[in-house]
Structure 1
């Protein structure tokens, strides 16, 4: 065992670690010690002071999570905390940039988040947060700084809803770091988005109305088979594009006329069971026979053209655009279905369940006793209504 007496720097520590006889590093200028772990890839920072004639050691951080520069820069604060007999803590990062980069790395490895969510977090941090807050010291971050550097410039360029989403990522990053005790205090803990902008976020008006149904259903006749089916399923059941494009034939229980969408591909992480009407059963039989005739033997209703997976987000949106011409999106189909269900007098709770919206515990208890038959009746009513407007897929199925 040996103690290296060096001028602390990250480069000097790296050189000392290479000497396996060294287990402790100190700098005569500072009351700091770095003790290396057995693996030598990690260690602990200690603040060493004299108290009542005895050396007092207080662990303040982990190395290399906290660099030599960070620990030295934070030393005045540590010393004050120690003299006041407070719990001695060091912030893992001095600037917001360090914290945001940590959260970015963490979020991209979080398998509980969807690929789309991870992509949105990355875009938010890299494009909107780091450029304006990266160099701001954690100790200087406050309401005014966030408003001046982030919220107010962003609201001039983006919708209030988008700005709120960017701020939510910032809040989540700081909250996560605080929970894991990587920072001692969360400077944003007492702030909410309405502290900056109190204007209510206007709901985006739907681009499709019930009066658009005749043209929409007619347009399916001229779309490709895959585009027509993808759009019709989303209209027929109000499913989200993310779960619709990943549907597998194994989810379809043909004898019991139902399709079970597993929780891992739904937005709410809740399994969704939808009844298959006679109309949809005919359409699915036709679609499967068309796939077989084309030589497809895979498991997806909407396979990726180049990979053994379901259709990706871009491909699915491209199919929707074939029908919409860019005038509406997949989510507008969901809104249209929900609106028409209300017009048809379908029970509110049944409609919410068909949309797979998140439920309260009370709602879940209600739904448990009020489910399958009511959903099937609602779907049969809705599909009968669609057929009364346009004879769907008639030419395709009869070919």
Structure 2
């Protein structure tokens, strides 16, 4: 079996000759020096670039298709000219599509990433990045080609914030592949999102404002009686500014009324950092009342927000809660945003507010601040819940004792005065 066959290389032609064991090598006169040598299994082979008597392996087939290896030939020849001793056996990662497949698989196996982040990356790759960039070769990626195939067309279809996320994903994929030697250099090195657009990415408009919270409390009070799970999910998020993901997964074992603390494990948080939230007297009363309702309904399980299978609500089920409550006017994230905004208006320290939200601290803050500031956090939440009491929260948690003095010159005093005329107060505002 010493035969070399000269053919016009195509995938179909390779497979046809793979069935003929008398053929060992294939070459194409259009591409001098390029050979494919079959393995003994005949369903795989190695691409070689022959220089004199030296056969240099450059890639494997079918990992690298005919079209891909032909596209890379000029770059491979240049590399051999620069360094004849260069080892050129490639991983098959020549096209951007192959790189994205590799990185997508890598992300799917990364235990440090949340399921939501993995799903988001998988969707961005499948719906946008691969359809637009799949056939481009890695070595030919330039700012101009990215702008032509991805950035400019996509800006007309998706939000700039989502386009920036996709760009960051692509940039990370190239950087990782380059670090691991999967590609020869990083053609995206030095590229920035601002190279492609100077448009400002504006934050999403808030659909809930502090002046609308009295009306929200009026809505949640009867909801707590009719659908306690729905109302409780909204109240927990509003009371603490927590994310929907970490709230829907809350377990009774992580709620300690004796220690007055709600513990959120790192595995449930977006930042992968455990989060400890003080429980005020109002929240302890609310949780006690809610647990009694669950037990009266025959549920004594592990989760605060179980579904019919006694498992925690799924992302879809939790989102459906806010579809029912918000009726399209606001979302779960609006509760977190209005909490943070009102904390500022109440004079709560900005750094404490960020800690309550479990945002990742900046490098300087992380270096110099080594405290969880639990007392300051508790004081902040006590002030916030006292403010909420003035607009109807007290009627829901059932704690009748006035626990906190509220300064008359704070924002809550204005709302407190208006709470006696809620209809007039709310209807004067634009609810959209």
Match of 1:324 in 2: 326
Q: Is the 8 A contact 1:33 1:48 kept in 2?
A: no
1:160 is aligned to 160
| Contact persistence 2:286–2:396 (CA under 8 A) | no
**Most deviating of 263-272 and 218-227:** 218-227
Q: CA RMSD in A?
A: 3.3
Task: Check the 8 A contact 2:282/2:399 in 1, yes or no.
Answer: no
Counterparts of 1:1-399 in structure 2, within 5 Å, are 26-27=25-26, 30=33, 32=35, 47=49, 49-50=51-52, 56=54, 58-61=56-59, 65-67=63-65, 70-71=68-69, 74-85=72-83, 87-89=86-88, 90=90, 92-223=92-223, 224-305=227-308, 307-364=309-366, 367-369=369-371, 371-392=373-394, 394=396
Q: Provide closer, same or farther for how the CA distance between residues 148 and 298 of structure 1 changes in structure 2, counting only shifts above 3 A.
A: same
For structure 2, the 5+ residue unaligned runs are 401-432
Is the Cα contact below 8 Å between 2:343 and 2:384 reproduced in 1?
Answer: yes
Q: Structure 1: which 5+ residue stretches go unaligned?
A: none
Shift of 1:16: 10
When structure 1 is superposed on structure 2, of 224-233 and 282-291 the one drifting more is 282-291
TM-score, structure 2 as length reference = 0.78
In 2 relative to 1, CA 113–4 (structure 1 residues): closer, same or farther, beyond 3 Å?
farther
| Alignment TM-score, normalising by the size of structure 1 | 0.84
Relative to structure 1, the CA distance from residue 25 to residue 154 in structure 2 (aligned partners, 3 Å threshold; closer, same or farther) is same
Give the equivalent residue in structure 1 for 2:424. none
The alpha-carbon distance between structure 1 residues 42 and 384, as it changes in their structure 2 partners (threshold 3 A), is farther
Moved more, 6-15 or 194-203: 6-15
Gap change, CA 1:336 and 1:391, over 3 Å in 2: closer
Residues 11 and 65, structure 2, Cα contact 8 Å, conserved in 1: yes
- Is contact 1:25-1:35 (8 Å) kept? yes
| Deviation sequence 1:57-104 (CA, Å, 0-9, x none) | 645345664356644553454334323425354573443323223333
Aligned partners of 1:42 and 1:64 also within 8 Å = yes
Output the CA distance in 2 between the equivalents of 1:369 and 1:73: 56
